[in-house]
Structure formats: structure tokens, C-alpha cells
Amino acid sequence: MATDTVSSERMAGGAEAIEAGARDPGGHRPVLLAEAVAALAPRPGGRYLDGTFGGGGHTRAILDASDPDGTVLALDADPDAIARARALAEEPGIGARLVPAHANFARLAEVAVETGLAPLDGVLLDLGLSSFQLDQAERGFAFRFAGPLDMRFDPSRGRPAADLVNELPARELADLLFRYGEEPRARRIAAAIAREREQALIETTVRLAEVVARAVGGRRGSDIHPATRTFQALRIATNEELHALERALEGAVSVLAPSGRLVVIAFHSLEDRIVKRFMQRESAACVCPLEAPVCTCGHTPRLARVIGRAVRATPAEIAANPRSRSAVLRVAERLPHVPPAVATVGDPASALSGVGRATRPGRTKP
Ligand SMILES: C[S@@+](CC[C@H](N)C(=O)[O-])C[C@H]1O[C@@H](n2cnc3c(N)ncnc32)[C@H](O)[C@@H]1O
């Protein structure tokens, strides 16, 4: 199983690849834990939001690092994860320092305001799914366990993955597999699904995995399951993951206090691209098209990129936890509001960001 995990991750950029073997026996092993906590820089009295509580590994570490009175607002779309957060809040010494909230992180700004915890000193998003979810056959995330094709982080909302598989026109299904799974054989797989569902609806993980495997076979010399990308695509679409991420990033910036940190761990290129572009844009002094001779955008940077380069797991962490192989951590810091006219070379905002295009020769703010 562990071998499957590692090779699936290589193949699909991390994707659906958290197969058995990539976790602690008791649950989910947090990825880039020390790096994420260092990036957030928690301090006593600080207020933090963990948008993806999962098994609570990151939350615990933030609570420890902000001892004795730092607070964590812990969100998760999955009610099971929030039950774990409530249990953690019962542990001695935690109590009101942990505020669990069953919510999609797309709504993190509203929740932070409603709970009275905004402005925040840090926001963490550790994207994707947890080992708890992958291990529960009935959640339908893993093609190796027989279960219903569900894949919802929050089973009380939205529609299960089976609805997409059985109801989308073949052409739209192919587009979905290509866009969210970066699946090069999307058309062939979609056509096979469309044929199969005419005989009987595809309602289980195992049947879908078989249909995909029959349609495209295994790659010679590869031990990757051919359904890896299909499962990733369906999970992303079912949970509208990329849209939720875009909203969460925007919301995070709006509720961060000056110098508050935004830390995001992504597991595949689609997520990471969104995070990277968001941080680039929000830390740029100018977002005019490159060919524009003079800046007219009036854009005000709201973030400084604290660590310009992505942080990745060390070889030791990858050996201990194969899931970390594809993890990419990015961090940015909230700037105080700086009027666009002064966001030029020499002021603290652009000195921190280091990417202000308005500082290029010939491009000046109006
Ligand atoms: C990788 S796990 C987090 C693991 C956690 N950091 C830990 O240390 O145990 C990701 C978690 O994010 C949750 N999640 C994914 N998308 C979400 C969303 N849009 N809103 C809220 N929670 C989400 C999943 O339900 C899952 O529990």
C-alpha cells in the first residue's frame, strides 16, 4: 500500500494519493508541521484560524506555541473533524482557547467576524483531505476501498460524486476530468463511463475504478492506479475546492491584522497555482498588463511575501510521511493599508514585497 501511495503522488502531483501507509497509526500525520508553525509565528495572546482542522495536528501545535492564552478558531467542513475539535477543546488546559466551527473555509471571514475573533494574527489552510476521511470506506474518497461514490467533505450538503458520474453529459465529464485531474485520457474515460452507466448507474468507488481501468489500462512499467486522476478530479468538483480556496484567500486577507500571516499548504499544482498567483498579485504594487507604458491600475498591495520561495518537505519527512512529497507551503504577511500613491521604492510595503512592478523604470503610479 505504501508503495502505491508514493508512486500515485509522483504521478498525479499529490492528488488523490494519500493511500494507506502515509499516516500515523492513530490518524492523520500533519505535513510540514514545524515549517507551518514557524511561518505563522504564533505568540501568547495571538488569535489564529486553522481553516482545515482535520485531525488537529496543526491546531495543537499552534496552541502549544501560543501558550498560555493564544486562541485558535478551528474550521472544517467535515462534521467528524469538528467533533474531534470539540473533543480537543475538552482536554485540560485548552477550553476556550479552541473555538471549533463547522464551516466551509470559503466563509472563514464571516465566521471570524461572527465569533468576535477578527482581526486575526494568522490563518492556516492545509488543503485536501485527511487520512481519517480516506480510511472511511463509506466516505467514498479511496478507490481501493469499496464504498459509495460520495466524496463530500460535508456529507450534509451538496451532491455526491455519483451524481456527476451518472448525470453529466460525456463531453462535460471529459472536460471536468481534464481540468481538475489533468487527465490526458479524459475523453476516453468519459466515453467509457457514459457507456457503462447506460447498463447500470455507477454508484461505488470500486466500480468506477474498474471502469476507468478497463478504459485506459495501466501504463507500462507503472504501478499507478489508472483511476488516480479521475478520483482527484471528481473530489475537486464535488467539493468545489478551487472556488472555496479562492474565496478563503480573499477572506483571509480581509480579516488578517497588520503583520498577520497567511500560510497555505497545497498538494497539487491546481491549488498551488491559485495560491501563488494570489500572493503574487496581492503583493504587487502594480497589476497593469506588462505592455502598459504607465501604471493606471491604482492597485494597493495588501500582502508582503514573507518567503518568496515555496517551502517543501525535507527528504526525512518524505521518507517518514510519503504524503508530504507533493506538499508546497507558501506564506505571506498582511501589510498595513498603504495608499497606492506611496507604494513605491523606499517605503516599507514595497521593501517587504520585493515584487512591486511599479518600481520598474518607466512605470510610475499616477
Ligand atoms: C489535510 S486535512 C487537514 C489536516 C490537519 N492540518 C491536521 O493536522 O490534522 C484537510 C482538512 O480540510 C478539510 N477541508 C477541505 N476543504 C475544506 C473546505 N473548503 N472548508 C473547510 N474544510 C475543508 C477536510 O475536511 C479535512 O479535514
What confidence tens digit (pLDDT) does each residue in 246-270 have? Answer: 999 999 999 999 999 999 999 999 9
72 C-alpha vs ligand 1 centroid, how far in Å? 15
- C-alpha cell belonging to residue 89: 477543546
Ligand 1: which of 40, 53, 275 to mutate, most ligand atoms within 8 Å of CB? 53
* Same domain (yes/no): 100, 122: yes
* Assigned domain for 70 exists: yes
Domain final residue pick, 220, 238, 256: 238
Q: Ligand 1 in contact with 70 (CB < 6 A)?
A: no
Q: What confidence score (pLDDT) does residue 175 get? A: 98
Q: Specify the number of domains making up the chain.
A: 2
* Same domain (yes/no): 125, 256: yes
- At 11, is the pLDDT very low, low, confident or very high (cuts 50, 70, 90)? very low
* Assigned domain for 136 exists: no
* Same domain (yes/no): 190, 221: yes
* Same domain (yes/no): 174, 245: no
Q: How far is CA 155 from the centre of its chain?
A: 19
- At 325, is the pLDDT very low, low, confident or very high (cuts 50, 70, 90)? very high
- In this prediction the pTM is 0.87
Q: Ligand 1 in contact with 251 (CB < 6 A)?
A: no
Domain final residue pick, 198, 217, 238: 238
Which residue did the predictor score with more confidence, 5 or 238?
A: 238
Q: Ligand 1 in contact with 301 (CB < 6 A)?
A: no
Domain span holding position 272: 2-130+241-357
Nearest CA to ligand 1 atom 12: 52
Q: Is the pLDDT of residue 342 over 50?
A: no
Q: Is the pLDDT of residue 97 over 80?
A: yes
52 C-alpha vs ligand 1 centroid, how far in Å? 3
